[in-house]
Amino acid sequence: AFVFFIRAPAIKASNRDIAVAVANTVAFGTVGMLVYPYLFHTLCPTPEQVGVCLGVAIHDTSQVLGSAMSYKEIYGEEMALKAAAVTKLTRNLGLAMAIPGLSYVHATSKSSNNDAVGDVKETMSGLVSFQKYVPPFLIAFLGMSTLRSIGDYTFANEIVAAATDLSNATSSHNLFQQTMDFLGNDVSKCALGTAMAGVGLSTSLESLKGVGWRPFAVGGSGALVVGGTGFMVSSLVM
């Protein structure tokens, strides 16, 4: 849902457009978060497939992790949580190209239309252009992913050795692992609750007055298509 707020200034979306997009994501994502863990547990033979389905079928990252955590608590399968997190974060990596690309296409298309009617062009410095097309959260996400990957690569041999005998782990590796566990388990639970509250607080019912049922019919249809696609893809690859 945060993607809508990030792209909104670039495409000059109205408050109503943003509210409708966020409301669709929150509403159908919440339904999926409550229903999909039980549904996919019935349909999928392995927890890994359940995790992949959850990671593909639900749009918002916080809702994906919320549903996967619920599945872990209900069925005791941590692998579903890991698979869901990897699947959704892999999808998020695509945002690094999709958001700047779509924003640039929109901006160039608008610029062409302005040229056709003789409007004055909007000029921006290189830094402002970069900030407009590349949201800060993408830089933070890629930076943290890179940092974790570098740490795993640095301690790769020790991770393998520690898997067979914990006494083989060095103090540096233990510190790195404890830090990652603290951030990934303790901090992430608090951050997840904050994110879910933020998504809900960002939806104003006042902005939805007069919208009608059609946008939500489109959103519901899209949610069903994405959920079905998630199950089909996971069935083919796993």
**Which position has the higher pLDDT, 223 or 116?**
223
pLDDT in tens, 93-150: 777 677 777 767 766 776 665 555 555 444 444 555 555 556 666 677 778 778 888 8
The answer, as to whether pTM is greater than 0.75, is no
Angle, in degrees to the nearest 10, between helices 15-43 and 214-237? 40
Res 80: pLDDT: 92
Tell me the average pLDDT across 211-225: 87
**Residue showing tokens 């959850």:** 54
Q: What are phi and psi of 58, to 5 degrees?
A: -105, 135
Query: 9-41: per-residue pLDDT in tens?
Result: 556 666 677 778 778 888 888 898 899 999 999
User: Using one digit for the tens of pLDDT, what is the confidence trace for 196-211?
Assistant: 677 667 666 676 777 7
- 209 or 76, which is more confident: 76
pLDDT at 138: 64
Q: What is the pLDDT of residue 3?
A: 60
At 151 the pLDDT is 80
Task: Compute the distance between CA of residue 118 and CA of residue 116 in angstroms, rounded to an integer.
Answer: 6
Q: Are 63 and 226 in contact (CB under 8 A)?
A: no
**Predicted local distance difference test score (pLDDT) of residue 11:** 60
The pLDDT score that the predictor gives to residue 221 is 92
Task: Encode the chain in three state secondary structure.
Answer: CHHHHHHHHHHCCCHHHHHHHHHHHHHHHHHHHHHHHHHHHHHCCCHHHHHHHHHHHCCCHHHHHHHHHHHHHHHCCHHHHHHHHHHHHHHHHCHHHHHHHHHHHHHHHHHHHHHHHCCCCCCCCHHHHHHHHCCHHHHHHHHHHHHHHHHHHHCHHHHHHHHHCHHHCCHHHHHHHHHHHHHHHHHHHHHHHHHHHHHHHCCCHHHHCCCCCHHHHHHHHHHHHHHHHHHHHHHHHC
Contacts 24+ apart (CB under 8 A), 135-138: 135/6, 135/7, 135/99, 137/2, 137/6, 138/95, 138/96, 138/99
**What is the overall mean pLDDT for the chain?**
76
90 pLDDT higher than 60: yes
